[in-house]
Amino acid sequence: MSDSGSGGGFETIAWGGDHVRLIDQTLLPAEYRIVELRTVPEICEAIRVLRVRGAPAIGCAAAYGLALRAVHGPEATPEELLPGLESAARELAATRPTAVNLFWAIDRIMSLAGGRSWSSLDELRQALVDDARSIQAEDDAACRAIGAYGAGLLPDPCRILTHCNAGGLATSGYGTAVGVIRAAHEQGKRVRVWVDETRPLLQGARLTAWELSQLEIPATLITDSMAAHVMARGQVDAVVVGADRIAANGDVANKIGTQGVAILAEYFGVPFYVAAPLSTVDLSLPTGAGIPIEERSADEVTTPRGTRFAPELTATLTVYNPAFDVTPAHLIRAIVTEKGVLHPPYGPALARWAGSK
């Protein structure tokens, strides 16, 4: 159990004093293995290959990465440590481009480090460790508040469709979209979940299905292409997903395939909700058009988990593997944050709430 109280029976990420412990999510559900990381390159590798993934969780990992750099650095004074931290911040920021929580957490730690003078190196080190731990604790509290607000949107009984994994594994422990579902379940609402498998990396099948089993919340796994069928048959009452970055107008970047689910939900009259902490809001981007979309390797599509699904690539056969897409704000019925539920138009409320986050 996480010391920030995940409540899901597992510990996504934790500070270990001189190392970071995290679940290696590339191995789930076949194997539950905790890895211990001690260096910034190890944290960067873990983020890049998705040992730790999900917007809030990679923010926590990056913050801990900077704390590790401070704790293990060879420097003798705070002034000497700062350039080392800056270079670590650049390495961490280069790991994945879409989830803004990564950059938000790095900026927060770096502003703290460079924002005042320190009486000793130990004081600076301790402040960075404490703030990284606060980022995780605040995310846990935010997710629980999101869960409570979001659960109020769901009828009883409710059949919810979710895409990717926006659960405890993607956050400090409680989850955003899955947090909404589990809060409703904890309130005694009769919830049932349609879990999109989420090609190509199967975060739905491997991670959300695993989490919901741990929580004993009834769930049915479907392939992504089945979502229209279950909606057309009137078997979905609400869609709830997480977010990697929310632009100032409410456009939402989330796992590839989310936009298609939102279009289906609109067509079939199913409410489409986004659950995310305010650390996911990027007020510097007026619309989702400016959100950088990560492209990942062709192997993830052609050769998932080492099994070849497609012919060798040639001059005439290529692969396109964007990891995220952008759902326009007009398809989103509400955005659930830790401060409450936002309804369209999102711009003014996001500016008010995220501006003071």
Residue 53 interacting with ligand MRU (CB under 6 A)? yes
Tokens at 176, concatenated = 């955003």
Show the site string, 72-111: x = touches ligand MRU by CB under 6 A, - = not.
---------------------------x------------
Q: Look at residues 133, 42, 56, 139 and name the one whose alpha carbon lies nearest to residue 95.
A: 42
Please pick, from the candidates 211, 244, 251, 282, the single residue that binds ligand MRU as defined by CB under 6 A.
244
Backbone angles phi, psi at 88, to 5 degrees: -65, -40
Q: Per rule CB under 6 A, is residue 227 in the interface with ligand MRU?
A: no
Establish whether 244 is a catalytic residue.
Answer: yes
Going by the DSSP 8-state scheme, the letter that residue 88 receives in this structure is H
Rank residues 132 and 207 by Cβ distance to ligand MRU and give the closer one.
207
Q: Does 243 bind ligand MRU (CB under 6 A)?
A: yes
Q: Which of 12, 13, 37, 56 binds ligand MRU (CB under 6 A)?
A: 56
Distance CA 108, CA 293 (A): 23
Q: Does 166 contact ligand MRU by CB under 6 A? A: yes
Does residue 164 belong to the site contacting ligand MRU (CB under 6 A)? yes
What is the DSSP-derived secondary structure letter of residue 207?
I
Nearest residue to ligand MRU, scored by beta-carbon proximity: 242
Rounded CA-CA distance 147/183 in Å is 5
- Cβ nearer to ligand MRU, comparing 302 with 327: 327
**Which C-beta is closer to ligand MRU: that of 2 or that of 254?**
254
Nearer to ligand MRU, 96 or 125 (CB): 96
Q: Of 140, 196, 244, 325, which is the active-site residue?
A: 244
User: Segment contacting ligand MRU (CB under 6 A): 32-40, 163-171, 285-293, 347-355?
Assistant: 163-171
Choose, by CB under 6 A, the member of 171, 208, 259, 302 that binds ligand MRU: 171
User: Cβ closer to ligand MRU: 81 or 164?
Assistant: 164
Residue that has been written with the tokens 């981007």 in this structure? 285
Confirm or reject binding of residue 203 to ligand MRU (CB under 6 A). Answer: yes
Within residues 252-311, the interface with ligand MRU by CB under 6 A covers 254-255
Structure tokens at 115: 């924002």
Q: Which is nearer to ligand MRU, 27 or 232 (CB)?
A: 27
Buried b (16+ CB within 10 A) or exposed e, 207-218: bbbbbbeebebe
- CA-to-CA separations, 75 to 4, 98, 108, 118, 120, in angstroms, rounded: 31, 32, 22, 14, 12
Query: Residue 180 contacts by C-beta under 8 Å, 6 or more apart in sequence?
Result: 146, 147, 150, 151, 153, 154, 240, 273, 275, 336
Q: Which stretch binds ligand MRU (CB under 6 A): 54-62, 111-119, 147-155, 229-237?
A: 54-62
Name the maximum alpha-carbon separation found in the chain: 66
Give which of 7, 304, 273 is closest to 146, Cα–Cα: 273
Helix (H) or strand (E) holding 272: strand 272-275
Contact 276, 312 (CB under 8 A): no
Binding site for ligand MRU (CB under 6 A): 50, 53-56, 99, 164, 166, 170-171, 176, 203, 242-244, 254-255, 323
